[in-house]
Chains A and B, each alone.
Chain A
Amino acid sequence: QKEVEQNSGPLSVPEGAIASLNCTYSDRGSQSFFWYRQYSGKSPELIMSIYSNGDKEDGRFTAQLNKASQYVSLLIRDSQPSDSATYLCAPRYGNNRLAFGKGNQVVVIP
């Protein structure tokens, strides 16, 4: 069983602040990592993918990957109420499966 750990407690951030989401994974062989955003009652939407160590920026989102520490994170800058959702970390592992974490719920307070 591939383990993906995300702090599942709600993260409340004021509008305009930075939301920081963390994820650790157990499979050292994982090479591809994805962040999905899921609004309540909706399907997951891919927002970031990262394959190499370091940072990758896309608009207000930055993904960070450290394969040695088996750690991937997502930063949301200038948080907006529309960012209120659950964010799912999903490393890909050896047999082409995604292992989804339980998700980080983000609540942006206006």
Chain B
Amino acid sequence: DTEVTQTPKHLVMGMTNKKSLKCEQHMGHRAMYWYKQKAKKPPELMFVYSYEKLSINESVPSRFSPECPNSSLLNLHLHALQPEDSALYLCASSQNNEKLFFGSGTQLSVL
């Protein structure tokens, strides 16, 4: 299994909603990442988990809250988002912090 699976593929939420994005990999990778990508821009790193511990937070607003329940799962909890948070949210994993393998992403729209 060489896939990173993300759910849902699409999400529309209001500014007062709470939602969660989910990511799963079964490649035995010990690093997992959240990226945000706006249209026609490169991916921007948000968070990195290494061995289930948060190792990098790129000064992301607290309305985004990551969670790594185990080595295969990564969640991103969303609360009180703004319309400018609308973007493609990408999960990725890697072994030994080398090649990143991306999931198919969640296209998020905040109304």
Q: Spell out A's residues near B (CB within 8 Å).
A: 32, 34, 41-46, 49, 88, 92, 95-98, 100-103
Contact = CB atoms under 8 A, between A and B. Distances in A.
Contacts of A45: 102
B105 interface: yes
Given A32-B98, A45-B102, A88 B42 contact: yes
Contacts of B103: 43
A95 B98 CA distance: 12
Interface size class of B (residues with CB under 8 A): 10 to 19
A102 B100 CA distance: 17
B97 interface: yes
A100 B105 CA distance: 17
Contacts of A97: 45, 48, 56
